[in-house]
Amino acid sequence: MNKGIILEIPSQVEYLSLVRAVVASAARVDQSLGDQRIDDLRLAVSEATTNAIRAHANLGSSERITIRFGLEGDRIEVEVQDRGSGFDPEKLDPAGPLTDKGRLEYEGGFGIPLMKILADEKTIESADEGTTVNLTVYVSPPSETI
Amino acid sequence: MMLTLSNSNTGIWTVIHVAGEVDMATGPQLRQEIVRQVSEGNIHLVIDLRKVDFIDSTGLGILVGGVKRAKSNGGDFRCSGLSSSLEEVFALTGLDSVLAVVDLDQDPSSWTKSNE
């Protein structure tokens, strides 16, 4: 993938709005991507970056977080890489529907499901030395690509 | 990005007007304001999102917490002014099943009935 833009940000929540602004502006370079899809990508990337910042905070790490953005033919790919302690994506406990008894007691549990829904493709590679989230949004839906 | 909060009162309702982006950086401000209002007895709350450009999962969680706080104190919690993107996110996460959306231009008496 030709990752045209590379951002390295301090692991601080104050930089989230900058990441979103860059992703949205870069995505608009491809004028065929509608505003709704840009909003979807913006939110998915923000969630991935938020998780990366949390991972560094859990370690007390001041290392930077890397976001790579690429426009590649029929798709936009974004990679968010942290240097946290990693986790097992298969062992994430789904929070369940909000209508479940007791679910309102818990404010979390939206981030990773949102990434999964909003991106056309999502992969999480996680190991002891960090996590890399890849998000892909197709300019046209995957079923329409050749 | 800054988050700006202001309040107004309409009948029994306290409306918290939110402007800006709600995320992990700014969300604690909104949570604190909701907690403050409920602790002062303002248990009928509407969150006005007309000037909100963005909400992430932190913000959604704060709204979930608002529903719990208001209801557990005998009140109601509503929101208003969702953009089309935010409507989509509410539907995708199921937030629309526990958080009613009201129209601030309508009679506030209709807001109470919105989630019954």
pLDDT tens across B18-56, in order? 999 999 999 999 999 999 999 999 999 999 999 999 999
| CA–CA gap between residue A92 and residue A113 (Å, rounded) | 10
A117 — contact with chain B (CB < 8 Å)? yes
Which candidate from B64, B85, B97 shows the least CB-CB separation from A36?
Answer: B85
| CA–CA gap between residue B16 and residue B30 (Å, rounded) | 9
The pLDDT mean for chain B works out to 93
pLDDT (tens digit per residue) in B65-113: 999 999 999 999 999 999 998 999 999 898 999 899 999 999 888 888 6
Report chain B residues whose CB lies below 8 A from the CB of A110.
Answer: 57, 60-61, 93
Inter-residue contact A68 to A78 (CB < 8 Å): yes
The number of folded domains in chain A is: 1
pLDDT (tens digit per residue) in A66-104: 999 998 888 999 999 999 988 877 777 667 777 777 777
The predicted structure's pLDDT at residue A146:
47
Q: Which residue of B has its CA nearest to A95?
A: B93
User: Looking at residues B2-31, what average pLDDT do you find?
Assistant: 96
Distance from CA of B115 to the nearest CA of A (A): 13
Chain A interface disruption, residue of B26, B53, B56, most A CBs within 10 A: B56
Does residue B80 form part of some domain?
Answer: yes
The predicted structure's pLDDT at residue B114:
61
Which candidate from B62, B88, B94 shows the least CB-CB separation from A98?
Answer: B94
Q: Which residue of B has its CA nearest to A39?
A: B85
Inter-residue contact B63 to A53 (CB < 8 Å): no
**CATH code of the domain in which A60 resides:** 3.30.565.10
A20 — contact with chain B (CB < 8 Å)? yes
pLDDT (tens digit per residue) in A42-74: 999 999 999 999 999 999 999 999 999 998 888
| CA–CA gap between residue A60 and residue A85 (Å, rounded) | 11
Tell me which residue range forms the domain holding A133.
5-144
B58 — contact with chain A (CB < 8 Å)? yes
Does residue B63 form part of some domain?
Answer: yes
Q: Say if the Cβ atoms of A50 and B57 lie within 8 Å.
A: yes
Q: Say if the Cβ atoms of A16 and B23 lie within 8 Å.
A: yes
> Tokens 């029994």 appear where?
B12
Task: Please report the ipTM that was assigned to this predicted complex.
Answer: 0.89
The predicted structure's pLDDT at residue A2:
59
pLDDT (tens digit per residue) in A118-146: 999 999 999 989 999 999 999 876 555 44
The number of folded domains in chain B is: 1
Distance from CA of A80 to the nearest CA of B (A): 17
How far is residue A66 from each of residues A14, A55, A119, B92, measured CA to CA in Å? 15, 13, 19, 28
Query: Long-range contacts made by residues B102-105, C-beta under 8 angstroms, separation at least 24?
Result: B102/B46, B102/B78, B104/B15, B104/B46, B104/B48, B104/B50, B104/B80
Q: Which amino acid is at A131?
A: T
B22 — contact with chain A (CB < 8 Å)? no
The predicted structure's pLDDT at residue A91:
72
| CA–CA gap between residue B6 and residue A54 (Å, rounded) | 29
**CATH code of the domain in which B48 resides:** 3.30.750.24
The predicted structure's pLDDT at residue A145:
47
B94 — contact with chain A (CB < 8 Å)? yes
User: Looking at residues A100-116, what average pLDDT do you find?
Assistant: 83
Tell me which residue range forms the domain holding B41.
3-93
